[in-house]
Amino acid sequence: MPRSALESGDVAEPRLARITRAIFNSRYSIHELSRCRGEGDENLARFNMPLELGMAMAKRFIGGAEDHDWLVLVPEGHAYGRFISDLAAFDPARHDGSVQKVTSAVMAWLATRRDGVPPVTPKLVLSKLPEFREKKAGLNDDWGGYTPWADVIVLANETAKTLQM
């Protein structure tokens, strides 16, 4: 089940607390490090994903190897090794930045997890993406841009049920 800091709607609680709870209550987490490079006029990098990866790694050490598993994604040629060299031992999944390659990398990893995904291919999932995006845009319009996370999950589950091998 996909998780988000937005799922509770509780903005009175700090976002980091909501993210930590989501990670600590999840079997798996996926961390994409492509935003860890300078951007904008001030050339600032975003380090939210490495921070969240650190929390996922801590969860695994606190709870044991069976308690939490995680995947790191990096774009081809990304210099993550220069700012987070300790990841070198974990073989991050590489991609070219396209939806197709990211989907394939994530699904290949999930397919090797004990209870990760049903036997569907990335090609089949990607064939449903335009339909999902269209319906999600409709939800966003209905909610004026504030679609509840639960509604996004319901839509994703409804779309997933239409997948056929």
How would you class 1 by CB atoms within 10 Å of its CB: exposed for 0-12, middle for 13-18, buried for 19 or more?
exposed
| pLDDT tens string 120-164 | 899 999 999 999 999 999 999 999 999 999 999 999 999 988 886
**What are the structure tokens assigned to 147, written together?**
């679609």
Q: Flag whether pLDDT at 86 surpasses 70.
A: yes
pTM, two decimals, is: 0.81
**pLDDT, position 140:** 96
For residue 10, what pLDDT band results from cuts at 50, 70 and 90?
confident
* Cα separation, 8 vs 30, whole angstroms: 20
Q: CB–CB of 50/44 below 8 Å?
A: no
CA gap 25, 105 in Å, rounded: 23
Angle at 135 (CA atoms; ends 130, 136), nearest 5 degrees:
95
**Tens digit of pLDDT for each residue in 28-85?**
999 987 766 666 777 666 678 888 988 998 998 887 667 889 999 888 876 666 667 7
